[in-house]
Structure 1
Amino acid sequence: MDWTLIITGLISALSGGALASFLTFKLGNRKQDESEFATLVKEYKEIVENNKADLVELRNEVKEIRKDLTEAKLENQQLRNQLMIFESSNTDVPLPIWLKDTDGKMLFVNPEYERALLNPIGKSSEDYIGKTDVDVWGEETGKQFQAHDKKVMRSKKPMEFVERWKGMNGAEYEGRIIKYPRFLNRTVIGIGGIVVDFKEVM
């Protein structure tokens, strides 16, 4: 009996092209009898056995990835919950308040921040959310704000700064700012800020 086509088809279905090509080459040189079929099955089993360790390792890696994704999903939900609580508790505070992530992107500004700081430069909260200080305030002022944010992240403690920024028509402002780290499971996840007071200096 000519087993060549039967074996090649079986191997192709079970293992894919690479192994099938190898066996096709081997089978194509001569007719196979039942003893050769048994030899091929033995070789196939050996190939499978040799790859078992890799398969086990791959399964373990997949498990770890799934675990990491689950933890990331839970952490993301916790962050969303914290942001919702932060927004709801600071919306009506009569001082400019904001919250950024650790990459410096703005997550939230309350209505007072928008009214007192953004409107005078012709911007709104929509111009700031998801953007960095450099995007909104320009290179010089933005880097000043970012440098202070990084100090707070490094210290993991509230700190007070005097910061300057420019408004429209060349006006310059100076403000006293309190910045503080926001935590999740003892990890800094963002920077909050309160503009205690500010004044025009030019």
Structure 2
Amino acid sequence: MKYNKEKGGGRMRVFVTDLNMSPADAARLTAALPPSAAHRAGNLAATVGFLLVRYALYRLDPHVSADNWQRGENGKPRLPAGKPYFNLSHSRYGVAVIVCEQNEVGVDLEEIKPHPLRFAKRYYSENEQAMIASSAAPESEMIRIWTAKEAEGKRLSTGLSGGIAHIPIQTAASIQLTLGEKPHWLSVAPTDAMPPIEWVTVKQLLQ
């Protein structure tokens, strides 16, 4: 299920910014916030998230204003007009934004770090547990599946409510990234192939 112009899904793109930056760059980004987003100052991930959404939407459509995006059903961010659609996620080390012209989308970004494997037995389906058990890196695979579920749940505006095991992962694509010198899983939905990823610098966010 590749969403592209030919199949009617509209362009889908992913944008990523590393939060590993100097205090001076962080201050410059905070100063670039418009008055409507001033409440995000003091939280670097929130500051970068706002500016990265604005940058990503501009790259998709220069006529779109992202300064007044709001929270819709279940807290999902959206524009007053609806389209284009976007979603964002952050870890301690980075921020990711996905945008799409015609379809609701979801994204999740998680650092790969140790987690008890019993978590999977409690929350994952039997098939997903088998995937983890057969993986050469079971803890990493458990996090990949988690991010895929998060991305799909965010796309549907349901989050992980209603039972984690019942959220499908087949509608998501995943890729490993390094942010802040830490390995991460990035998952996006709905697609079976990772859309183009653009790494966005502080300089670009300030444009």
- TM-score normalized by the length of structure 1: 0.22
- Pick 1 or 2: higher relative contact order, CA cutoff 8 A, min separation 6: 2
TM-score (norm 2): 0.22
State which structure, 1 or 2, has the greater radius of gyration over its C-alpha atoms: 1
